[in-house]
Amino acid sequence: MLDDLDERDEVVATGSIWKVRRSRPDKEGGDLRTRLIAHRAVLAVLLATFAAGADKTAPTYQKGTIKGWDKRTDVGPFLDGNGEPLPRKKTVFELKGIDFVYLIDYCGAFQAGKFELGDVVDYRVGETNKDDMRLYIRRENGREYKCKIEGKKVSEGAQSGDPPAKH
């Protein structure tokens, strides 16, 4: 690109970046200054995207214990030839956390039997939307199993948010 410079071109050095300002059309028929502005805008959007992603804090996990599981049948999203929903088998796990006991299912590979009764796992609760709470179980590789919460109840021995009454 530096081979085809003439007296109408201006080479500007900013730090380690060299730019050519050209007042005439380049070989593709577009104005080089317009292309430089467009490239800067794209670069600014990309940098802003990376910066926004870097601001995320790491999720906080709690310890929980697998206390049991139950095999159940559920109505699936698929229909048979008569238009009736097909039943599907599911495993519902009971996970005892600090404050709640969660009933969870549809955990993907978590249901493949990699965990047994009494195993301690790291988990967190999050929502994909207001009506869809999910429980995430951390894997060894840093990824997560995403589970559907079927129900929850207050755990025995959970600490109440109310201070003890004074006598």
162 pLDDT more than 90: no
Among 137, 136, 150, smallest CA distance to 72 is for 150
Q: Where are the domains of the chain?
A: 2-54, 62-154
164 band by pLDDT with thresholds 50, 70 and 90: very low
Q: What is the pTM of this model?
A: 0.55
pLDDT at 10 over 50: yes
Q: Which two tokens stand for residue 91?
A: 């495993």
Region of 11 (left: φ > 0; alpha: ψ -120 to 50; beta: rest) is beta
